[in-house]
Structure 1
Amino acid sequence: MRVGIKVLIVLFVLIAFVSIIIEPKHNGFHCNDSSIRQPFNALQITLAQLLTIAMIIPVIVVIVIENVAKSVPKTQIKTIIYQNINAFIFGLFANFLAVMVAKNLIGRLRPHAIHFCNADHYCADGVNDKYIESFECVNKDYHGHFLKNVRHSFYSGHASIATYSGIFLILYLNSRLKPQMKPIKYILLALFAAIAITSLYPGYTQWHNSWHFLSDVLTGYTIGLISGSLVFKFLVYVENSEQLNASYIPLNKLLSTISGQ
């Protein structure tokens, strides 16, 4: 199944609409809810940084691997690269859209909501079990999107997007690289482990810095894992069994090509 550029444009427009135009659900809070009274910390990894890295690295890997493999006639290599990159970006955009839809529909307050919004005065009467149905988020240092963003806890986009990119990269490399010796096989496994750990790190920072609850991050990990696996299985170009055996790239060939030897 191929993903055309028009589909990507539609997804991009939907993401912009949901992110900018749609308001999140406005939930209240209980005055004795300590889970949303965590201190506010600046983002350790911004969304722009995450999206840039999560998109660029897999795209570069696909381009390099397919040009080295040359498992099909040269005239088809560009088509395969185009198809696989489009499939990857489609999954990335779909992931981001699902994240924003969930955030706006659920409107879960972030762990730092009370501190960030300076909302303690709503509970100044000392009634601990009081429920505040509606409150205004006020912060003199932040405006616009940041005030809206305080209701975007569930689920973690950092966790979902990074995990999606990581599992896609692991599955893609595993399908294209063939270790010829056991030591090389262990190196490849170590590479996969490093990619997996790196893809989990953005979600961890969001939990550690009180931007998400643990359940937000775990949900993001799960959705990223499932979506990455599905995109690879159904949208990425994979040869038939005869072509596949011929298209594996020995690691020594890949390394020598990259080093220019």
Structure 2
Amino acid sequence: MAVDRIIWKIILDFFVLACVSFPLLALMLWVKPYERGYFANDTSILLPYKEETISVGAVAGAGFAFMAATILTVEFTRDRQGKGVGEKFLSGSVLPGWVWESYQTIGVFTFGAACQQLTSDLAKYVVGRLRPHFIAVCRPYPIANSPLNSLGYIQDYICADNDGDRIKEARLSFPSSHASFSMYCAIFFIFYIQVKGKWRGSKLLRHGIQYAVLLTAWFVGLTRVQDHMHHWSDVTVGFLIGAIYACLVFVYVLKPKKYSALPMTWEEPQVPTNAPVLPRAVLAR
């Protein structure tokens, strides 16, 4: 029965991940972003197009690989130190405790990453904010004498550029998914190392690594502004989304056992039989 519970737990975990991931795929394949208009004198969308410094694949690959390597290393080390959760049995085979703990932690991290990504991408498609290089990519031509353009806000226009994918991406500025995911990874890593990555060799080494990871996430967000991919407010909101999801997922979903090495039951201290017995104090009435 225990084996069945573990197998069903794994199946349900993957089912939940699929339920969160499918809307992400649907947004990318079948949903068109809101086609927002623009002001003719809006200089914030007149910046030239530049190739991005850090691609989506690079951020996602590096973030997942870094977190998976960190979790596997920490859980294996804790198991060697006698701080693991104990062995599990799966289909008649013994599963090391650090493997099961790593699976759970990586699964929770992946679930949180999918949730924050869905939140960011949904906002992108609903808001449809134009990227700073929108004019350079779209090269819009307003429709003459259109009543929708009579107040100076251009809503009726066509793009001279025929690259549909690039024009679609130019409408997905708010918020920054790069900033959201990178900050999510950084905060999750900081919390995880703070709770489980204990090492007495140096007081500042762990905090130095945490700062370096946070600075890396900060740099990723700055490159999005530098590359004319996002407005500064897009990156700011992306940072907030990632940080909020990391805190919520780590505290309320992962729920790490910080004090697992402490005794689980209270034991009364043993008093020697030959110790002198003192009289109890008389309670005042």
1:227 aligns to 2:245 (yes or no) = yes
Q: TM-score, normalised by structure 1?
A: 0.84
Q: Do the aligned partners of residues 206 and 123 (structure 1) sit closer, same or farther apart at CA in structure 2, a change above 3 Å counting?
A: farther
What's the counterpart of residue 3 of structure 2? none
**Counterpart among 169, 173, 182 of residue 153 in structure 1:** 173
Question: Which residue of 123, 136, 161 maps to 1:139?
Answer: 161
User: What letter matches 1:122 in structure 2?
Assistant: P
Partner of residue 49, structure 1: 58
SS in 2 for 1:185: coil
Within 5 A, what are the aligned runs for 1:142-221? 143-181=163-201, 184-221=202-239
Alignment deviations for residues 41-64 of structure 1 (CA, whole Å, 9 cap, x no partner): 111111111111111110111111
- Is the Cα contact below 8 Å between 1:138 and 1:147 reproduced in 2? no
Secondary structure of 1:136 counterpart: strand
In structure 2, the residue matched to 1:74 is 87
Inter-partner Cα distance in structure 2 for 1:54 and 1:124: 48
Larger Rg: 2
**Mapped contact 1:117–1:137 kept (Cα < 8 A):** yes
Instruction: Give the Cα–Cα distance (whole angstroms) in 2 for the partners of residues 30 and 202 of structure 1.
Output: 29
Give the aligned partner of residue 114 of structure 2.
93
Across the two proteins, how many residue pairs are aligned to each other? 239
Task: Tell which has more relative contact order, 1 or 2 (C-alpha 8 A, sep 6+).
Answer: 1
TM-score, scaled relative to structure 2: 0.78
Aligned-pair CA distance for 1:85:
0.7
Counterpart CA distance in 2 for 1:172 and 1:193 is 14
Taking the aligned partners of 1:240 and 1:177, their CA distance within structure 2 comes to: 11
Tell me, in whole angstroms, the C-alpha distance in 2 between the residues paired with 1:83 and 1:202.
28
Deviations 1:154-199 (A, max 9, x none): 0000000000011111111111122425xx1212211111000001
Question: Residue 236 of structure 1: which of 254, 260, 264 is its match?
Answer: 254
* Distance in 2 of aligned mates of 1:240 and 1:55: 23
1:168–1:229 contact (8 Å) kept in structure 2: yes
C-alpha separation in 2, matches of 1:244 and 1:169? 24
Structure 1 pair 215/123, CA: closer, same or farther in 2 (3 Å)? farther
Asked whether the equivalents of residues 160 and 224 of structure 1 are also in contact (C-alpha less than 8 Å), the reply is yes
CA separation of 1:243 and 1:138: change in aligned 2, threshold 3 A:
farther
Deviation of 1:242 after TM superposition, in Å, equals: 4.1
Distance in 1 (CA, whole Å) between partners of 2:209 and 2:98 is 26
Relative distance call for 1:53 and 1:163 in structure 2 (3 A) is: same
Deviations 1:218-238 (A, max 9, x none): 000111111111111112251
Alignment partners' CA distance in 2, 1:244 and 1:114: 61
Q: Deviations over 1:94-128 (max 9, x none)?
A: 11111110001000011111111112x43999x9x
Indicate the percent of aligned positions where both proteins have the same amino acid: 27
2: distance between equivalents of 1:95 and 1:116? 28
* Matched position secondary structure for 1:4: helix
Q: 1:244 offset after TM fit, Å?
A: 6.6
Q: 1:84 to 1:5 in 2, by over 3 A?
A: same
> 2:33·2:126 contact (CA, 8 Å) conserved in 1?
yes
Label 1:118 to 1:240 Cα distance change in 2 as closer, same or farther (>3 A). closer
- Please name the residue that 1:63 is paired with: 72
Q: Which amino acid aligns with 2:178?
A: H
